[in-house]
């Protein structure tokens, strides 16, 4: 009877020993996983931005820049703390129209905070398309 009483809580002790290691592993994996998701989001976002810019029609009212930004949905980054999108050439001048066959580059820079790793982390994604 004494022995059984003494065995009580052994599972808890074992869990208490394992739990920190498990949590550590999970935490270590969370940030790279978020980064991977953000890379995918960034790729899709720059792809969309470059494609929209490539088919931009100058109508005298909207600039290429404003038109593209209004036609692509902003990415919801995981743990994102800030981002910028640059499309070049795609100025804010509404009298600008594209040169067919030339390259348009969408560059997305972002910053994400980290849960476990030393941060913040930054990332950049670039996608190029051709003006129609």
Partner 1 sequence: MNAWSRTKAFLSRREAERGQVLIILAFGLVFLAALVGLMIDLGIYTTNNIIAHNNASVGCVTAAEAHRRGGSATSAFASILQQNGMLPATYSPNEGTGLTLTRGLENVGDGSWRAAVTWQQPTGFIGIVGIREMTIRGRARCVGRDSGGLAPIAVRQSAVEDSLYGLPPEEYSILGRDPSWDLADVESGTNFRGAVFVHMWCVPSTDPNCPDIRVFYPLTEDPPNAQTQKKLVEDCFRGINCSIWPGVDERLPIVAGTSDNQICHAFQDGGWEVGDKVVVIVFDGEVYNPDPTYGNWENVAVVGYAVYEITQFEPNPNHCNNVIARLASDRIYDSLDDIPADVILLRSREISWDYGGPIPW
Residues in contact with partner 1 by the rule CB under 8 A? 2-3, 6, 10, 13-14, 17-18, 21-22, 25-26, 29, 32-33, 36-37, 39-40, 43-44, 47, 50-51, 54-61, 93, 95-101, 103, 126-132
User: Closest separation between CB of residue 119 and partner 1, Å?
Assistant: 18
Determine contact, residues 77/83, Cβ cutoff 8 Å.
yes
* Nearer of residues 56 and 121 to partner 1, judged by Cβ: 56
User: Closest separation between CB of residue 70 and partner 1, Å?
Assistant: 14
Neighbour tally for 11: CB within 10 Å: 9
Name the maximum alpha-carbon separation found in the chain.
90
* Eight-state DSSP code of residue 75: P
User: Closest separation between CB of residue 82 and partner 1, Å?
Assistant: 21
Determine contact, residues 63/96, Cβ cutoff 8 Å.
yes
């Amino acid at each position: 009877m004494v022995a059984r009483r003494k065995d009580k809580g052994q599972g808890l002790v074992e869990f208490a020993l394992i739990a920190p290691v498990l949590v550590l592993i999970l935490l270590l994996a969370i940030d790279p996983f978020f980064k991977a998701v953000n890379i995918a989001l960034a790729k899709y976002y720059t792809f969309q931005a470059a494609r929209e810019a490539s088919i931009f029609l100058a109508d005298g009212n909207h600039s290429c820049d404003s038109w593209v930004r209004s036609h692509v949905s902003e990415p919801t980054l995981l743990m994102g703390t800030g981002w910028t999108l640059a499309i070049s050439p795609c100025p804010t001048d509404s009298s600008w129209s594209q040169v067919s066959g030339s390259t348009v580059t969408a560059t997305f820079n972002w910053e994400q905070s980290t849960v476990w790793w030393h941060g913040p982390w930054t990332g950049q994604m670039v996608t190029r398309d051709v003006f129609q």
